[in-house]
Amino acid sequence: MIFLAFVAGLLIGSFLNVCIFRLPRDLSVAKPARSFCPFCEKTIAWYDNIPVLSYILLRAKCRQCGAGIPWRYPVVELATGIAFAICVASFGLHLIALKYVLFSAIMITLIASDFEERILPDEFTLGGAIAGLIIAYFVPLQLEFSLLLFPYTWGRHWLSVIEAAMGAGIVSGAIWLAGWIYEKVRHREGLGLGDVKMLMAIGAFLGLAAALMTLIIASL
């Protein structure tokens, strides 16, 4: 099952590469359905679109025009495959594995997109936050801060959603406030809203305690 998870990650990673290229350019990820070379715009044949393997066989060049294929493509595919394999190896075939598979895919996409285009697409930041809140009901977070404000009689699943909402709101709100103060004092933007929304997604998936730790590590 771990190997199958790795293969699935390679395939999903190939789709994530489509998102990384198209979303920052406001292109549809559905049309055209087939991948195309960004230089000559020729449709890529299926046998030239096999994750990682095609990159190696083509020697990182488009078969049609000879333009170089960015190294980001195999890196994203491999990273997603490895992440999926680790999730399944760690949690087995359970919902918690699915949660972290989705979280990994979102984070890999955002990291690659930010590195290449300096853009964090809303589809993965805000969409990730919404997904994290929904998953929190089915895969409950460890209850910490939510129990300080709400009784346990509300039920573990709904308290988990509250924990996720607190993680999403408090941490993203804190860095938004820091960025707003910086802008007022220095009269220039110090923090993009993409970072705020990305932390919102992280908080929704991991909860307040882990999101705060993420913010501390990121700051260091």
pLDDT of residue 200: 96
Out of 119, 144, 160, a domain closes at 119
| Contact criterion met (CB below 8 Å) for 204 and 136 | yes
Q: What is the mean pLDDT of residues 204-212?
A: 93
Q: Into how many domains does the chain fold?
A: 2
Q: Which residues contact 196 (CB under 8 A, 6 or more apart)?
A: 172, 175, 176, 179
The answer on 52 and 136 residing in a single domain is no
- Asked if residue 32 has pLDDT above 90, the reply is no
- Compute the residue count for the chain: 220
- Of 49-53, 60-64, 100-104, the range with the lowest mean pLDDT is 60-64
Pick from 119, 141, 163: which residue ends a domain?
Answer: 119
The rounded percent of the chain whose pLDDT value lies above 70 is: 100
Question: Dmax over Cα atoms in the chain, in whole Å?
Answer: 64
Query: What are the angstrom distances between the C-alpha of 117 and each of 37, 110, 150, 216?
Result: 18, 10, 42, 25
Q: Which domain holds residue 174?
A: 121-220
Give the mean model confidence (pLDDT) for residues 25-29.
88
- Residue-wise pLDDT for 160-187, tens only, equals 999 999 999 999 999 999 888 988 888 8
| Structure tokens belonging to residue 175 | 């860095």
Question: What's the confidence (pLDDT) of residue 166?
Answer: 95
Question: 44 exposed, middle or buried (CB, 10 Å; 0-12, 13-18, 19+)?
Answer: middle
Judge if 113 and 141 occupy the same domain.
no
Residue 94 has pLDDT above 80, yes or no: yes
- Specify the residue for token string 């994290």: 132
Do 126 and 142 belong to one domain? yes
Closest to 147 (Cα-Cα) out of 135, 136, 155: 155
Residue 8: predicted pLDDT: 97
Same domain as 115, residue 138: no
Q: Name the one residue in this structure whose structure tokens are 């919404």.
A: 130
Are residue 95 and residue 134 in the same domain, yes or no? no
| 9-18, 186-195, 211-220, range with greatest mean pLDDT | 9-18
Give the model's pLDDT for residue 179: 87
Average pLDDT of the chain is 92
Q: Is residue 111 over pLDDT 90?
A: yes
pLDDT of residue 37: 85
In the prediction, which pLDDT does 158 show? 94
Q: Are residues 106 and 29 in the same domain?
A: yes
Of the candidates 112, 88, 79, which has an alpha carbon nearest to the alpha carbon of residue 12? Answer: 79
Evaluate if residue 197 carries a pLDDT over 90: yes
Q: What's the whole-number mean pLDDT along residues 75-80?
A: 98
**Is pLDDT larger for residue 23 or for residue 191?**
23
pLDDT at 47: 87
pTM (2 decimals)? 0.90
- On the question of pLDDT at 12 being above 80, the answer is yes
pLDDT band, residue 4 (cuts 50/70/90)? very high
Chain center to CA of 10: 15
